[in-house]
Structure 1
Amino acid sequence: MSDIIYLIVLIIGALLIYFRPLARLAGISIYWEIGTGSLCVVLFMIHMMNTYVVEREIEQGLAKKPCGASSPQGLCYNLTTEVCETAWNSADKICREEAEPILKERPGALIGPMVNRCKARRMDKVLRYNRIKEDNSLCRAYFKYIDEKN
């Protein structure tokens, strides 16, 4: 229903911009009419973005977070999301402490990938027996990545 309302707003905006009926009938400046029509078009575009694009982007972003449905942790282990997140987050403090000497040596160093690899290793150490049994190329590459030495 809201799509229909915003479609009507779009049509009104396009008609105001193209035909300028208020300028002809009421003597209003065409700039007000073009501005109002443009506002209607922008409102339609904002509605469409919020309704169809932003929600899907948020869902995809959540799925790619650690332990999300599209993440290696979510795909390669037979775990509930809560157990996975608990195991992932429990290693955070220890892994950040391991990365501290690098930050002291190079204050601007990016330690995120190193911390994430450390978390993945610690999670795998605890939950190794919950790995999926099927042969999946993503999981194979993920397990190879966390098993390699730096």
Structure 2
Amino acid sequence: MPEFLIDYGWWILGLVLLALELALPGVFLVFFGIAALIVGMNVFVLGTGWFGWQQQIIAFVILSAAAALLGRRWYGSKSEVGDADQLNRRTARLIGRQAVLTEAIVDGRGRVAIEDGWWTVTGPDLPVATHVRIVGADGSMLVVEAA
């Protein structure tokens, strides 16, 4: 085996795995890449005399498992928190807010201005400038009632 691969093989493997992580979907290879870089650092510090290939393989397996478990714990706790269920549903985040009618609700339809947009609303017939509360959403249309 070439001397170059013995000295830098783990570093090369770690960097290749990290590069593949960027190209492939998901978060999986990063843990193996980190483990390979740690083993490579230990080979660099301890040398192959003290840290033979058998110990390197065992260390890589143990570090990979530990990194994967820690990563799962880290990413698992992050995925449970947040507004991911409302990511592409702008109308869902408006439920419960109050607005003022800018166009009267006639025959069940009117308009309100909220933030930087105009929204079509449905609800009971109400005059312009009435305060309404958003109680639901039907696609891109908001359902309102008098506040």
TM-score by length of 1: 0.28
Max radius of gyration: which structure? Answer: 2
More helix by proportion, 1 or 2? 1
More strand by proportion, 1 or 2? 2
TM-score by length of 2: 0.28
